[in-house]
Amino acid sequence: MKVNFFFVVTFFILSLGFSQISHKMDKLIKPKNLKIGDTISIIAPSGVLKDYDEYMYKSISLMESWGLNVVLGSNIYDSYGHFSSSDANRQKDFQNAIDDNKIKAIWCARGGYGAMRIIDKINYDNLLKHPKWVIGYSDITAIHNDIHNLGVESLHGIMSKSLEDISVDDESIKKLKDIIFGKGELHYVIESNKYNITGEASGKLVGGNLTLLQSLLESKSSIDTTNKIIFIEEVGEYLYHIDRMLHSLKRADYFSKCSGLIVGDFTDIRKNETKFGKNLYEIINEIVKEYNFPVIYGFPAGHGQKNLPLIFGRNVEINVSKNKSEIRFSN
């Protein structure tokens, strides 16, 4: 059979072009860097703020020391049972922060529980038109997932309440400032862990709090982990509950197509009367041992003493060796 040479060459060139276009489209939208004089909004989309005078004062003072103007959500200091305010008020504060183009970043005051109750009523149209950093962790994972599925990057990092426990000179804060102001590249190197699974991988970084990731399965807020690097962290859970959530994710093919795994802080693990028989890292390794991807254990992010910021949706490269673990974010 004769093959038209011109057709083959043309097809190859077009395929290459479409591949390059697809690769460019695959890159998520990066919010604009902040500059002195910009405005940041602090909102409380989840739990109630208690004994907040000191850490809110420190939070506002910190942002102002960076040259930013601070606007607080109208209902941030309310109290509505477990929540900072009613669902309608929390949704309104978040929506106002998204829709106000003078606001260039949104910083969540705390996690807890409540974000999942309001996310289905949020209109993200203006966030796509005018991308801005949304910053938080823990319960804010529900918001991170939605923003990722929109195609926009977000920032897993400290919240206002974090300033109860850390100094304003902490590395977690310095790195956060560097990211939102667009200073330098983000590159972490940590000591090796004996449970690490060595190797190299690259992909977009996704994830967050394990409980939230598991709770969001089979919803429109769940994320496709294909070719991505997953980050997980947790606080205050029993080992058997962690094992159950990980198996739930595994059964939903969360790990079968991902490129790598970063395990953050799992703090305040609760003790059960009956010992589980494995430690945390042994549980995780049992879950992922059948897959061929690298795993970093002990990355300082989550509810621990240090909470280094991570850019969700950004392409990262991880290199796990016997001596160290590296995470390098693309610019």
Domain contains 5: no
Same domain? 214 vs 150: no
Last residue of a domain, one of 140, 155, 180: 180
Domain contains 226: yes
Same domain? 127 vs 239: no
The alpha-helical segments, DSSP class H, found in the chain are: 5-25, 53-65, 87-99, 125-129, 141-150, 171-180, 210-215, 239-251, 280-288
Query: Please, what is the average pLDDT of the chain?
Result: 92
What pLDDT sits at residue 4? 53
Last residue of a domain, one of 163, 180, 197: 180
Domain contains 44: yes
Q: Which CATH number do you get for residue 162?
A: 3.40.50.10740
Rounded to an integer, what distance in angstroms lies between the CA atom of residue 224 and that of residue 208? Answer: 14
Rounded to an integer, what distance in angstroms lies between the CA atom of residue 255 and that of residue 62? Answer: 39
**Listed range (6-10, 115-119, 247-251) with the worst mean pLDDT:** 6-10
| pLDDT tens sequence across 192-246 | 999 999 999 999 999 999 999 999 999 999 999 999 999 999 999 999 999 999 9
Domain contains 28: no
Last residue of a domain, one of 135, 157, 180: 180
| pLDDT tens sequence across 69-113 | 999 999 999 999 999 999 999 999 999 999 999 999 999 999 999
Task: With both helix axes pointing from N to C terminus, report the angle between 239-251 and 280-288 in degrees, rounded to the nearest 10.
Answer: 10
Q: Which of 166, 130, 131 has its CA nearest to residue 148?
A: 131
Domain contains 15: no
Asked if 213 contacts 207 with a C-beta cutoff of 8 angstroms, the reply is yes
Give rounded-to-5 percent helix, strand, coil for the chain. 35, 25, 40
**Listed range (22-26, 88-92, 170-174, 181-185) with the worst mean pLDDT:** 22-26
| pLDDT tens sequence across 7-38 | 433 444 344 443 333 333 478 999 999 999 99
Same domain? 198 vs 299: yes
Same domain? 193 vs 175: no
From the number of C-beta atoms within 10 Å of its C-beta (0-12, 13-18, 19+), residue 149 rates as: middle
Count: domains in the chain: 2
Same domain? 219 vs 170: no
Same domain? 146 vs 228: no
DSSP state of 160: G
Which residue range is the domain that position 302 belongs to? 187-329
Can you give the pTM of this predicted structure?
A: 0.91
Rounded to an integer, what distance in angstroms lies between the CA atom of residue 197 and that of residue 261? Answer: 9
Same domain? 248 vs 131: no
Domain contains 221: yes
- Which one-letter amino acid corresponds to residue 127? L
Q: Which of 299, 294, 226 has its CA nearest to residue 265?
A: 299
